[in-house]
Amino acid sequence: MNNIENLLEVMRKLRDRENGCPWDVEQDFRSIAPYTIEEAYEVADAIERGDMNDLRNELGDLLLQVVFHAQMAAEADLFDFDDVAAGIAEKMLRRHPHVFGSDAERADGKQDGSWEQIKELERSGSDDQSALAGVTKALPALKRAQKLGKRASRVGFDWPDRAGVLAKIQEELDELEVAVGEREPASIEEEFGDVLFAVVNLARHLDIDPEKALTGANYKFERRFRDMEQEIATSGRRFRDFNIETLDKHWRAAKKRVG
């Protein structure tokens, strides 16, 4: 029995209604979905930290999620793990004609935009023929905004350059300021969302992944803030003893120390 077969057997036993784990048995697709998302983020976190030992463990946790969903599907006679593996292998073969295609396709090599053209052909059989079809609602909001903007851009709905996006951001900021002045919570939230959406479009024009950029900013803030906390604690004072002007000086010092 190889490692994959062993893992599949472990999951089958966990889901056994007579002798399995009560928690595992009572789960369904919806209850497991949040764990699947969480494990994907933990994989990304291990990569960001450069911890390859942790990455190996987190990839195992993510693989367990795939096996869990596949086992539940097999129990409902929908599909099984082999179907999942076969499906993704077939998709990769189909989307890489420059590697797996005919002699002529391999000779042509990878063509710009070919991946998206193949995906669009795959979507052509769907009932939803919108340019935005298939952009899943379960994506993190920043990532989904990025994909929506990219799809709209493909059919010509986009600014010609980043100057137009910058002007749009300023327009949305002005509208947010008006909403704040009117003190309407729902309007404030809506306008704030418009600001974020416009900023994501700027990231696309700059060829930046907004999720990755914000993740980096989060790490940077945490690194500087923790350094500032440690420096203040070393002085024997409490963080709350300082006013914002003094804290800002400590913040600037932390930036110089830890970047």
User: Mapped to the 3 state alphabet, what secondary structure does the chain carry?
Assistant: CCHHHHHHHHHHHHCCCCCCCHHHHHCCHHHHHHHHHHHHHHHHHHHHHCCHHHHHHHHHHHHHHHHHHHHHHHHCCCCCHHHHHHHHHHHHHHHCHHHHCCHHHHHHCCCCCHHHHHHHHHHCCCCCCCCCCCCCCCCCHHHHHHHHHHHHHHCCCCCCCHHHHHHHHHHHHHHHHHHHHHCCHHHHHHHHHHHHHHHHHHHHHCCCCHHHHHHHHHHHHHHHHHHHHHHHHHCCCCHHHCCHHHHHHHHHHHHHHHC
188 lies in some domain: yes
The average pLDDT across 30-48 equals: 92
Of 20, 50, 79, which residue constitutes the final position of a domain?
79
The Cα–Cα gap between 211 and 218 comes to 10
The average pLDDT across 203-229 equals: 92
173 lies in some domain: yes
Same domain for 226 and 166 = no
pLDDT at position 213 over 70: yes
Number of domains present in the structure of the chain: 3
Look at residue 124 in the predicted model and tell me its pLDDT.
63
pLDDT at position 110 over 80: no
Same domain for 192 and 216 = no
The Cα–Cα gap between 204 and 217 comes to 17
Same domain for 221 and 199 = no
Of 173, 190, 208, which residue constitutes the final position of a domain?
208
pLDDT at position 116 over 70: no
pTM for the model: 0.62
pLDDT at position 108 over 80: no
pLDDT at position 112 over 70: no
- Domain membership of residue 183 as a residue range: 126-208
Residue whose pair of structure tokens reads 């059989």 in the numeric block: 125
Same domain for 236 and 163 = no
User: How confident is residue 65, by pLDDT bands cut at 50, 70 and 90?
Assistant: very high
237 lies in some domain: yes
The mean pLDDT value of the chain amounts to 90
User: How confident is residue 119, by pLDDT bands cut at 50, 70 and 90?
Assistant: low
pLDDT at position 76 over 90: yes
Of 48, 79, 110, which residue constitutes the final position of a domain?
79
Residue 25 amino acid letter: V
Look at residue 175 in the predicted model and tell me its pLDDT.
96
The Cα–Cα gap between 106 and 97 comes to 7
The average pLDDT across 205-224 equals: 92
